[in-house]
Amino acid sequence: MRALICGISGQDGAYLAQLLLEKGYDVVGSSRDAQICNFNNLVRLGIRQKVQLESIALNDFRSVLQVVHRTKPDEIYNLAGQSSVALSFEQPVETLESIMSATINLMEVIRFLGRPIRFYNAGSGECFGDTLGNAADEETPFRPRSPYAVAKAAAFWQVANYREAYGLFACTGILFNHESPLRPERFVTRKIIAAACRIAAGSGERLRLGNTTIQRDWGWAPEYVDAMWRMLQQESAADFVIATGKSHSLADFAEISFRYFGLDWQEYTDIDASIFRPTDIAYGSGDARKALRMSGWSAKTDMSGVIEKMIAEELKSYR
């Protein structure tokens, strides 16, 4: 089996590449310019030399066609595109184009080539918006509240349309928040972990956070890429919600992170209204029972476990 991972340099792309290599796949990864990208996450996982890397411009149909035709993948995983909710408010056009263009071009190429390529699209639990204390499942309506979520919702419906209109094996994983040490610090979870470690080491800094009352369903990224692979092994294509089913506040995340070092997070944190989002989701949680029923997947690591794993890895980097 050969897989093409678009967005292999990111958190999910790197962990997915590692998983597929362990399963005996030939893995091809794409980046806009593979000659200059450092692929640090692949290096950290020790798999940089085991992956074939290709340059591809996902907003250019011809570029996508050339790479897919040349590499002949059995599976394509679309994990590319602007991935920060906060940044999407500052770059709404780039966010929409990077997510929508890639999705359409990849599916158009699969349709044009006429090969039985299975296609996975990275969706997001952000599409549901505020679920008002309820866990969202595959039947819950979308009410996106950010440019990022709007783009992901549009891509979801494009995938559903190609599946129904052209018979493509195309599906979307509606993944809720999933974290790891490979997250950059612009993501709030890694920002909190890194700051707690530095403060515990005596840095004397202050942690700046926005709205800490928001509640999210946080899982462990290496488990979530396994769900992606399982989705493409089904007899027929279907969309799945992937989540732990448990939601916690950002304040809880910070409290547990600092408590690891015997510290009170509130003594080292400033709430900065300037970094609140224009619109935000008060509560987000996912119901992944369909994934368990159809593929046997379920989350094994809860939020506390995610924090412990991230702190352990962060401390390794200090040593």
List residues with catalytic annotation: 124, 126, 148
How many angstroms separate the CA atoms of 79 and 184, rounded?
16
> Which phi and psi (to 5°) does residue 60 adopt?
-120, 110
How many angstroms separate the CA atoms of 148 and 154, rounded?
10
Considering only CA atoms, give the Rg of the chain.
19
Q: Is the Cβ–Cβ distance between 238 and 118 less than 8 Å?
A: no
Nearest to 67 by CA among 145, 130, 5: 5
Q: In terms of C-beta distances under 8 Å and separation of at least 24 residues, what long-range contacts does 46-53 make, across chains too? A: 47/14, 47/17, 47/18, 47/21, 50/21, 51/8, 51/17, 51/21, 51/27, 52/26, 52/27, 52/28, 53/8, 53/28, 53/29
Q: How far is CA 275 from the centre of its chain?
A: 22
Q: Are strands 248-249 and 215-216 parallel, antiparallel or unpaired?
A: antiparallel
According to DSSP, residue 210 is labeled: S
How many angstroms separate the CA atoms of 241 and 226, rounded?
13
The label of the residue with tokens 């979308």 reads: 142
Q: Is the Cβ–Cβ distance between 311 and 197 less than 8 Å?
A: yes
Q: Is the Cβ–Cβ distance between 77 and 16 less than 8 Å?
A: yes
| Strand partners for 271 | 209
